[in-house]
A = this chain, B = another copy of it.
Amino acid sequence: MAGNIFGTAFKISTFGESHGKAIGVIIDGCPAGLAIDEAFIQSELARRRPGQSAIVTQRKESDTAQLLSGVFEGKSTGTPIAIVINNKDARSKDYSHIADRFRPSHADFTYTKKYGHRDYRGGGRSSARETAARVAAGAIAKLFLKEKGIQIHAYVSQVGALKMSKSYQELDFAQIESTPVRCPDVELAEQMIAHIKEVRKAGDTIGGVVNCVVQGCPVGLGEPAFDKLHADLAKAMLSINACKGFEYGSGFEGVKMRGSEHNDIFENQDGIIRTKTNYSGGIQGGISNGMDIYFRVAFKPVATIVSAQNSVNQEGEDAEVVGKGRHDPCVVPRAVPIVEAMAALVLTDHYLRQEIVRL
Protein backbone atom coordinates (compact mmCIF):
# COMPACT_ATOMS: atom_id res chain seq x y z
CA MET A 1 0.00 0.00 0.00
CA ALA A 2 2.63 2.52 1.05
CA GLY A 3 4.82 1.95 -1.95
CA ASN A 4 8.24 1.23 -0.48
CA ILE A 5 8.36 -2.38 -1.58
CA PHE A 6 9.32 -3.44 -5.11
CA GLY A 7 9.34 -6.78 -6.86
CA THR A 8 7.45 -10.02 -6.57
CA ALA A 9 9.79 -12.99 -6.23
CA PHE A 10 12.90 -10.91 -5.56
CA LYS A 11 11.38 -8.28 -3.36
CA ILE A 12 13.06 -5.25 -1.86
CA SER A 13 11.85 -2.98 0.93
CA THR A 14 13.71 0.30 1.29
CA PHE A 15 13.71 2.84 4.07
CA GLY A 16 15.41 6.04 5.04
CA GLU A 17 15.51 9.77 4.71
CA SER A 18 18.25 12.01 3.44
CA HIS A 19 19.18 13.30 6.87
CA GLY A 20 17.94 10.53 9.17
CA LYS A 21 20.24 8.06 10.85
CA ALA A 22 20.51 5.64 7.97
CA ILE A 23 18.99 4.39 4.78
CA GLY A 24 18.77 0.78 3.76
CA VAL A 25 17.05 -2.15 2.19
CA ILE A 26 15.86 -5.66 2.93
CA ILE A 27 15.94 -8.15 0.06
CA ASP A 28 13.42 -10.94 0.54
CA GLY A 29 13.69 -13.76 -1.95
CA CYS A 30 17.37 -13.90 -2.87
CA PRO A 31 18.04 -17.56 -3.65
CA ALA A 32 20.36 -19.42 -1.28
CA GLY A 33 23.87 -20.22 -2.38
CA LEU A 34 24.71 -17.00 -4.19
CA ALA A 35 28.23 -15.76 -3.50
CA ILE A 36 27.84 -12.25 -2.10
CA ASP A 37 30.77 -10.10 -3.10
CA GLU A 38 30.69 -7.20 -0.65
CA ALA A 39 33.40 -5.35 -2.51
CA PHE A 40 31.23 -5.36 -5.60
CA ILE A 41 28.30 -3.87 -3.68
CA GLN A 42 30.67 -1.19 -2.46
CA SER A 43 31.99 -0.50 -5.95
CA GLU A 44 28.48 -0.06 -7.29
CA LEU A 45 27.72 2.40 -4.50
CA ALA A 46 30.89 4.26 -5.44
CA ARG A 47 29.52 4.72 -8.95
CA ARG A 48 26.44 6.43 -7.54
CA ARG A 49 28.21 8.34 -4.78
CA PRO A 50 28.34 12.14 -4.68
CA GLY A 51 31.74 13.70 -4.99
CA GLN A 52 33.09 11.14 -7.40
CA SER A 53 34.01 13.64 -10.12
CA ALA A 54 34.10 17.32 -10.99
CA ILE A 55 30.71 17.27 -12.72
CA VAL A 56 28.61 15.90 -9.90
CA THR A 57 27.62 17.26 -6.51
CA GLN A 58 30.55 17.78 -4.19
CA ARG A 59 28.72 16.56 -1.11
CA LYS A 60 30.70 14.02 0.83
CA GLU A 61 28.94 10.77 1.54
CA SER A 62 30.94 7.68 2.22
CA ASP A 63 28.08 5.23 1.59
CA THR A 64 29.42 2.20 3.32
CA ALA A 65 27.06 -0.75 3.03
CA GLN A 66 26.74 -2.98 6.10
CA LEU A 67 25.30 -6.44 5.58
CA LEU A 68 23.30 -7.33 8.65
CA SER A 69 21.74 -10.67 7.72
CA GLY A 70 21.06 -13.32 5.14
CA VAL A 71 24.68 -14.06 4.28
CA PHE A 72 26.73 -16.76 5.99
CA GLU A 73 30.29 -17.71 5.12
CA GLY A 74 30.11 -15.50 2.04
CA LYS A 75 26.96 -16.99 0.56
CA SER A 76 23.31 -16.07 0.71
CA THR A 77 21.24 -18.36 2.93
CA GLY A 78 17.83 -17.70 1.34
CA THR A 79 16.75 -15.56 4.30
CA PRO A 80 16.33 -11.77 4.09
CA ILE A 81 19.46 -9.79 3.30
CA ALA A 82 19.44 -6.49 5.14
CA ILE A 83 21.81 -3.73 4.11
CA VAL A 84 22.16 -0.50 6.05
CA ILE A 85 24.05 2.60 4.95
CA ASN A 86 24.55 5.09 7.74
CA ASN A 87 24.07 8.74 7.00
CA LYS A 88 26.92 10.96 7.98
CA ASP A 89 26.28 13.67 10.49
CA ALA A 90 24.48 15.75 7.90
CA ARG A 91 24.57 19.50 8.25
CA SER A 92 20.86 19.73 8.94
CA LYS A 93 21.00 23.43 9.59
CA ASP A 94 21.51 23.84 5.85
CA TYR A 95 17.85 23.02 5.49
CA SER A 96 16.21 25.11 8.19
CA HIS A 97 15.63 27.83 5.61
CA ILE A 98 13.28 25.56 3.68
CA ALA A 99 11.46 24.05 6.64
CA ASP A 100 8.37 26.10 6.04
CA ARG A 101 8.49 26.80 2.32
CA PHE A 102 8.11 24.82 -0.86
CA ARG A 103 11.03 24.59 -3.28
CA PRO A 104 9.82 24.74 -6.89
CA SER A 105 9.56 21.35 -8.60
CA HIS A 106 10.57 19.51 -5.44
CA ALA A 107 8.31 17.28 -3.37
CA ASP A 108 8.12 19.66 -0.39
CA PHE A 109 4.61 20.77 -1.25
CA THR A 110 3.17 17.38 -2.15
CA TYR A 111 4.65 15.62 0.90
CA THR A 112 3.31 18.32 3.20
CA LYS A 113 -0.17 18.09 1.73
CA LYS A 114 -0.13 14.31 1.62
CA TYR A 115 1.18 13.54 5.08
CA GLY A 116 0.67 16.69 7.13
CA HIS A 117 4.03 16.10 8.79
CA ARG A 118 7.33 15.75 6.95
CA ASP A 119 11.04 15.55 7.47
CA TYR A 120 12.07 18.61 5.48
CA ARG A 121 15.80 18.09 5.86
CA GLY A 122 17.29 17.59 2.43
CA GLY A 123 13.99 16.49 1.03
CA GLY A 124 13.65 13.66 3.55
CA ARG A 125 12.29 10.53 1.93
CA SER A 126 11.94 12.27 -1.45
CA SER A 127 15.69 12.76 -1.67
CA ALA A 128 17.57 10.81 -4.33
CA ARG A 129 19.69 9.53 -1.47
CA GLU A 130 17.10 6.76 -1.25
CA THR A 131 18.46 5.36 -4.52
CA ALA A 132 21.65 4.25 -2.78
CA ALA A 133 19.59 1.46 -1.20
CA ARG A 134 18.43 0.46 -4.66
CA VAL A 135 21.99 0.36 -5.96
CA ALA A 136 23.04 -1.89 -3.08
CA ALA A 137 20.15 -4.27 -3.74
CA GLY A 138 20.76 -4.02 -7.47
CA ALA A 139 24.36 -5.10 -6.95
CA ILE A 140 23.14 -8.37 -5.45
CA ALA A 141 20.73 -8.77 -8.37
CA LYS A 142 23.65 -8.24 -10.73
CA LEU A 143 25.59 -10.99 -8.98
CA PHE A 144 22.62 -13.28 -9.56
CA LEU A 145 22.29 -12.29 -13.22
CA LYS A 146 26.00 -12.78 -13.79
CA GLU A 147 25.54 -16.43 -12.76
CA LYS A 148 22.89 -16.64 -15.46
CA GLY A 149 24.96 -14.94 -18.15
CA ILE A 150 22.98 -11.72 -18.27
CA GLN A 151 24.78 -8.37 -18.54
CA ILE A 152 23.39 -4.88 -18.15
CA HIS A 153 25.06 -1.74 -19.48
CA ALA A 154 23.67 1.74 -19.10
CA TYR A 155 25.24 4.92 -20.40
CA VAL A 156 24.51 8.58 -20.98
CA SER A 157 23.24 9.21 -24.51
CA GLN A 158 22.08 12.80 -24.16
CA VAL A 159 22.81 15.87 -22.05
CA GLY A 160 20.61 18.84 -22.87
CA ALA A 161 20.51 19.05 -26.65
CA LEU A 162 23.72 17.06 -27.09
CA LYS A 163 22.35 13.76 -28.34
CA MET A 164 24.28 10.72 -29.39
CA SER A 165 23.71 9.63 -32.97
CA LYS A 166 25.41 6.27 -32.64
CA SER A 167 23.45 3.12 -31.97
CA TYR A 168 24.55 0.98 -29.05
CA GLN A 169 26.05 -1.55 -31.43
CA GLU A 170 28.63 1.05 -32.45
CA LEU A 171 29.77 1.63 -28.88
CA ASP A 172 32.40 0.03 -26.69
CA PHE A 173 30.72 -0.43 -23.32
CA ALA A 174 34.16 -0.74 -21.75
CA GLN A 175 34.46 3.02 -22.32
CA ILE A 176 31.44 3.89 -20.18
CA GLU A 177 33.39 4.30 -16.99
CA SER A 178 36.32 5.98 -18.73
CA THR A 179 34.69 9.41 -18.59
CA PRO A 180 32.97 11.02 -15.61
CA VAL A 181 29.84 11.61 -17.68
CA ARG A 182 29.54 7.89 -18.44
CA CYS A 183 29.15 8.37 -22.18
CA PRO A 184 31.13 5.77 -24.15
CA ASP A 185 31.26 8.01 -27.21
CA VAL A 186 34.37 9.72 -25.93
CA GLU A 187 34.22 12.70 -28.21
CA LEU A 188 30.64 13.42 -27.34
CA ALA A 189 31.48 12.82 -23.67
CA GLU A 190 33.87 15.74 -23.74
CA GLN A 191 31.25 18.03 -25.16
CA MET A 192 28.79 16.86 -22.53
CA ILE A 193 31.28 17.50 -19.74
CA ALA A 194 32.00 20.97 -21.05
CA HIS A 195 28.29 21.64 -21.32
CA ILE A 196 27.58 20.48 -17.76
CA LYS A 197 30.40 22.66 -16.44
CA GLU A 198 29.05 25.66 -18.27
CA VAL A 199 25.54 25.04 -16.94
CA ARG A 200 26.86 24.67 -13.41
CA LYS A 201 28.85 27.87 -13.77
CA ALA A 202 25.59 29.61 -14.68
CA GLY A 203 24.12 28.30 -11.42
CA ASP A 204 21.76 26.20 -13.43
CA THR A 205 21.05 22.55 -14.21
CA ILE A 206 20.30 20.50 -17.33
CA GLY A 207 18.50 17.26 -18.17
CA GLY A 208 19.63 14.17 -20.04
CA VAL A 209 18.91 10.67 -21.23
CA VAL A 210 20.29 7.33 -20.08
CA ASN A 211 20.22 4.36 -22.45
CA CYS A 212 20.35 0.81 -21.17
CA VAL A 213 21.11 -2.47 -22.93
CA VAL A 214 20.52 -5.95 -21.49
CA GLN A 215 22.43 -8.76 -23.17
CA GLY A 216 22.28 -12.49 -22.69
CA CYS A 217 18.71 -12.53 -21.51
CA PRO A 218 17.06 -15.91 -22.19
CA VAL A 219 13.74 -16.23 -23.99
CA GLY A 220 10.70 -16.23 -21.72
CA LEU A 221 11.08 -13.50 -19.11
CA GLY A 222 8.00 -11.35 -18.53
CA GLU A 223 4.41 -12.16 -17.62
CA PRO A 224 1.15 -11.33 -19.34
CA ALA A 225 -0.96 -9.30 -19.03
CA PHE A 226 0.13 -6.56 -16.62
CA ASP A 227 3.61 -7.61 -15.62
CA LYS A 228 5.02 -7.44 -19.10
CA LEU A 229 8.79 -7.23 -18.91
CA HIS A 230 8.86 -3.74 -20.41
CA ALA A 231 5.96 -2.60 -18.21
CA ASP A 232 7.90 -3.53 -15.09
CA LEU A 233 11.02 -1.91 -16.53
CA ALA A 234 9.02 1.26 -17.21
CA LYS A 235 7.72 1.38 -13.66
CA ALA A 236 11.19 0.70 -12.30
CA MET A 237 12.69 3.56 -14.31
CA LEU A 238 9.89 6.05 -13.67
CA SER A 239 10.27 5.37 -9.95
CA ILE A 240 13.76 6.90 -10.08
CA ASN A 241 13.86 10.53 -8.99
CA ALA A 242 13.67 13.07 -11.83
CA CYS A 243 12.69 10.50 -14.45
CA LYS A 244 10.17 11.80 -17.00
CA GLY A 245 9.96 9.17 -19.70
CA PHE A 246 10.70 5.65 -20.86
CA GLU A 247 10.74 4.05 -24.28
CA TYR A 248 12.01 0.67 -25.43
CA GLY A 249 12.87 -0.74 -28.82
CA SER A 250 11.68 1.60 -31.54
CA GLY A 251 9.99 3.79 -28.92
CA PHE A 252 8.39 7.11 -29.81
CA GLU A 253 10.21 7.20 -33.16
CA GLY A 254 8.72 3.86 -34.11
CA VAL A 255 5.22 5.30 -34.34
CA LYS A 256 6.17 6.82 -37.68
CA MET A 257 7.04 3.46 -39.16
CA ARG A 258 4.83 1.11 -41.12
CA GLY A 259 4.23 -2.42 -39.96
CA SER A 260 6.04 -3.81 -42.98
CA GLU A 261 9.20 -1.94 -41.96
CA HIS A 262 8.84 -2.37 -38.22
CA ASN A 263 8.15 -6.09 -38.09
CA ASP A 264 11.16 -8.11 -36.99
CA ILE A 265 11.53 -11.10 -39.27
CA PHE A 266 12.41 -14.40 -37.54
CA GLU A 267 15.19 -16.50 -38.94
CA ASN A 268 17.08 -19.58 -37.89
CA GLN A 269 20.70 -18.66 -37.22
CA ASP A 270 22.61 -21.85 -36.62
CA GLY A 271 19.80 -23.44 -34.71
CA ILE A 272 18.87 -20.35 -32.72
CA ILE A 273 15.77 -18.43 -33.71
CA ARG A 274 16.60 -14.75 -33.89
CA THR A 275 15.13 -11.70 -35.55
CA LYS A 276 16.84 -9.87 -38.42
CA THR A 277 16.02 -6.46 -37.02
CA ASN A 278 15.17 -5.67 -33.40
CA TYR A 279 12.61 -2.88 -33.34
CA SER A 280 10.85 -4.96 -30.71
CA GLY A 281 13.69 -4.15 -28.33
CA GLY A 282 14.08 -7.78 -27.34
CA ILE A 283 10.55 -8.06 -25.97
CA GLN A 284 7.45 -9.39 -27.75
CA GLY A 285 4.08 -9.66 -26.07
CA GLY A 286 5.78 -8.55 -22.88
CA ILE A 287 8.17 -11.52 -22.92
CA SER A 288 11.88 -11.49 -23.75
CA ASN A 289 12.67 -13.09 -27.10
CA GLY A 290 16.39 -13.65 -26.63
CA MET A 291 17.51 -10.55 -28.53
CA ASP A 292 19.13 -7.56 -26.82
CA ILE A 293 16.73 -5.58 -24.67
CA TYR A 294 17.29 -1.84 -24.94
CA PHE A 295 15.49 1.19 -23.63
CA ARG A 296 15.91 4.90 -23.00
CA VAL A 297 15.17 6.86 -19.85
CA ALA A 298 14.62 10.64 -19.75
CA PHE A 299 15.68 12.76 -16.77
CA LYS A 300 14.60 16.34 -16.23
CA PRO A 301 16.99 19.08 -15.13
CA VAL A 302 17.65 18.96 -11.37
CA ALA A 303 15.23 21.25 -9.55
CA THR A 304 17.76 22.73 -7.13
CA ILE A 305 19.39 25.78 -8.70
CA VAL A 306 21.56 28.46 -7.19
CA SER A 307 19.43 31.48 -8.16
CA ALA A 308 16.66 32.75 -5.94
CA GLN A 309 13.16 31.66 -6.97
CA ASN A 310 9.73 32.86 -5.95
CA SER A 311 7.54 30.42 -4.09
CA VAL A 312 5.08 30.18 -1.22
CA ASN A 313 5.35 28.94 2.33
CA GLN A 314 3.13 26.61 4.33
CA GLU A 315 0.76 29.46 5.09
CA GLY A 316 0.43 30.20 1.38
CA GLU A 317 2.35 33.46 1.66
CA ASP A 318 4.94 34.53 -0.87
CA ALA A 319 8.36 33.28 0.14
CA GLU A 320 11.67 33.27 -1.69
CA VAL A 321 13.70 30.09 -2.03
CA VAL A 322 17.45 30.18 -2.51
CA GLY A 323 19.42 27.08 -3.43
CA LYS A 324 21.91 26.07 -0.81
CA GLY A 325 23.82 22.90 -0.36
CA ARG A 326 25.79 21.16 -3.07
CA HIS A 327 23.78 19.66 -5.85
CA ASP A 328 24.25 17.98 -9.19
CA PRO A 329 24.21 20.22 -12.24
CA CYS A 330 23.04 17.19 -14.24
CA VAL A 331 21.72 13.98 -12.83
CA VAL A 332 22.46 11.52 -15.62
CA PRO A 333 26.07 10.54 -14.85
CA ARG A 334 25.02 9.34 -11.40
CA ALA A 335 21.74 7.95 -12.75
CA VAL A 336 23.60 5.36 -14.83
CA PRO A 337 24.24 2.89 -11.97
CA ILE A 338 20.71 3.49 -10.66
CA VAL A 339 19.17 2.63 -14.03
CA GLU A 340 21.31 -0.50 -14.13
CA ALA A 341 20.32 -1.43 -10.58
CA MET A 342 16.62 -1.07 -11.27
CA ALA A 343 16.96 -3.07 -14.49
CA ALA A 344 18.83 -5.78 -12.59
CA LEU A 345 16.09 -5.96 -9.97
CA VAL A 346 13.40 -6.33 -12.61
CA LEU A 347 15.30 -8.97 -14.55
CA THR A 348 16.16 -11.01 -11.47
CA ASP A 349 12.55 -10.88 -10.36
CA HIS A 350 11.31 -12.09 -13.73
CA TYR A 351 14.06 -14.68 -14.01
CA LEU A 352 12.80 -16.29 -10.80
CA ARG A 353 9.16 -15.94 -11.78
CA GLN A 354 9.84 -17.68 -15.05
CA GLU A 355 11.19 -20.74 -13.23
CA ILE A 356 7.71 -21.87 -12.23
CA VAL A 357 5.52 -21.31 -15.27
CA ARG A 358 5.74 -24.88 -16.52
CA LEU A 359 4.70 -28.12 -14.89
Contacts and interface: CB of A to CB of B under 8 A. Distances in A.
A87 B263 CA distance: 28
Contacts of A264: 104-105
Given A114-B354, A255-B158, A285-B107, A28 B5 contact: yes
A82 B231 contact: no
A14 to B, nearest CB: 6
Given A69-B16, A105-B262, A301 B246 contact: no
What bracket does the count of chain A residues touching chain B fall in?
Answer: 35 or more
Contacts of A158: 255
A279 interface: yes
A204 B300 contact: no
B249 A246 contact: no
A17 B6 CA distance: 23
A56 interface: no
A33 interface: yes
Interface in A17-35: 17, 20-24, 26, 28-29, 31-34
Contacts of A116: 32-33, 358
Given A5-B13, A104-B266, A262-B300, A20 B68 contact: yes
A39 interface: no
A74 to B, nearest CB: 10
B78 A265 contact: no
Contact of A77 (B3, B70, B124, B199): B124
Nearest to A288: B110
Contacts of A24: 68, 82
Residue among A2, A77, A208 with the highest chain B CB neighbour number at 10 A:
A2
A58 B236 CA distance: 37
What are the 10 A-B residue pairs with the smallest beta carbon separation, nearest first? A107-B285, A3-B223, A245-B247, A3-B227, A207-B255, A205-B259, A235-B235, A110-B287, A15-B80, A32-B115
20 contacts: A4-B28, A5-B13, A13-B26, A13-B80, A15-B68, A15-B70, A21-B68, A78-B358, A102-B273, A107-B286, A114-B219, A116-B358, A125-B224, A158-B255, A209-B252, A234-B234, A246-B246, A252-B298, A262-B301, A268-B316
